[in-house]
């Protein structure tokens, strides 16, 4: 079975054992992925404390609310990506998982190749962002793409998800033009990882709330029946004296989502 590539991350799977999960674990291991399995979140704590994992798969089906809370706690660690596993591909389930702190969502029973692709993409994103320390400034905010931290004009440090970081990047580079939901989806969807249009709305809503709470309500404008628009132009972003902000370094090489 020739599935292994150069991307061989350590993965922690938090799920009850069942035939489907055992097949998934076997498939990932055959592909060169190192997988540890634990049945509960409590059992995962010592593993997370003493071993470095790039990706954590969390089964939400057997303890939904607790699983989402656990995703939020994991999200505070910028060096791990969280993939939630739920009951279906329904947009509502995806949105709940993303808003709950997961970086990605995949239904249980999905093709193991899809899960493998998502795991590798997340690991690659971590690897690609490692040597970079890219920052952007706009309207008093400072975006640290490496750490996935947004610092408000008041100095508050706001944790942002990988999807939110990629959305901010897409907006910053848009030069103030209207972006459709489909275009935003395509801009932040990498290597075959699908992001639904409603998930884009969820990401934008969360990002807008964080910006608005710190004086940035004007930055993301809704274009009704179409999508969204960033209120700053590139000229503003690059002008140190214009008050709009500046790009500290070019951002073309950053790939944050997944």
Is the per-residue pLDDT at 100 higher than 80?
Answer: no
Q: Cβ atoms within 10 A of the Cβ of 153, count?
A: 12
Q: What is the pLDDT of residues 28-81, one digit of tens each?
A: 999 989 999 998 888 888 888 878 888 999 998 765 556 777 777 776 655 788
Q: What is the pLDDT of residues 232-246, one digit of tens each?
A: 876 555 433 333 344
Max mean pLDDT range (130-144, 184-198, 233-247): 130-144
Task: Please give the pLDDT value at position 18.
Answer: 87
The total number of residues shown for the chain amounts to 258
Residue 220's pLDDT band, with cuts at 50, 70 and 90, is: very high
Task: Please give the pLDDT value at position 189.
Answer: 67
DSSP secondary-structure letter at 11?
Answer: E
Is the per-residue pLDDT at 136 higher than 70?
Answer: yes
Secondary structure in 3-state letters for 212-235? HCCCCCCCEEEECCCEEEECCCHH
Task: Please give the pLDDT value at position 235.
Answer: 58
Burial 130-147 (b: 16+ CB within 10 A, else e): eeeebbbbbbebbbbbbb
Task: Please give the pLDDT value at position 162.
Answer: 73
Domains and CATH numbers, the chain: 10-129 (3.40.50.2300), 135-247 (1.10.10.10)
Q: How far apart are CA 150 and CA 195, in angstroms?
A: 23
Locate 132 and state its tokens.
């970079």
Task: Please give the pLDDT value at position 241.
Answer: 30
- Give CA 79 to chain center in angstroms: 12
Share of the chain above pLDDT 90, in %: 26
Residue 214's pLDDT band, with cuts at 50, 70 and 90, is: very high
Mean pLDDT, the chain, integer: 78
- 12-26, 152-166, 202-216: least confidently modelled range: 152-166
Q: What is the pLDDT of residues 143-189, one digit of tens each?
A: 887 777 889 999 898 888 777 888 888 888 888 889 999 888 877 76
- 62-71, 116-125, 216-225: least confidently modelled range: 62-71
């Amino acid at each position: 079975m020739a599935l292994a590539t150069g991307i061989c991350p350590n993965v922690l799977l938090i799920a009850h054992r069942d035939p489907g999960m055992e097949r998934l674990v076997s498939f990932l291991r055959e592909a060169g992925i190192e997988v540890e399995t634990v049945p509960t979140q409590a059992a995962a704590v010592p593993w997370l404390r003493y071993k470095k994992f790039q990706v954590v798969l969390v089964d939400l089906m057997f303890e939904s609310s607790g699983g989402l809370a656990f995703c939020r706690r994991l999200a505070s660690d910028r060096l791990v990506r969280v993939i939630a596993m739920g009951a279906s591909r329904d947009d509502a389930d995806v949105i709940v998982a993303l808003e709950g702190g997961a970086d990605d969502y995949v239904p249980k029973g999905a093709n193991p190749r899809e899960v493998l692709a998502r795991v590798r993409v997340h690991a690659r994103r971590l690897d690609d962002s490692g040597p970079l320390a890219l920052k952007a400034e706009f309207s008093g905010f400072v975006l640290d793409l490496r750490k996935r931290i947004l610092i408000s004009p008041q100095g508050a440090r706001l944790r942002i998800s990988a999807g939110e970081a990629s959305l901010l990047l897409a907006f910053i580079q848009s030069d103030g033009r209207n972006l459709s939901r489909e275009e935003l989806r395509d801009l932040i969807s990498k290597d075959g990882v699908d992001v639904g249009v409603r998930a884009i709305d969820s990401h934008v809503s969360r990002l807008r709330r964080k910006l608005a709470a710190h004086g940035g309500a004007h930055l993301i404008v809704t274009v009704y029946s179409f999508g969204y628009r960033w209120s700053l132009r590139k000229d503003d972003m690059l002008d140190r004296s214009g008050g709009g902000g500046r790009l500290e370094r070019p951002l073309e090489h950053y790939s944050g989502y997944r």
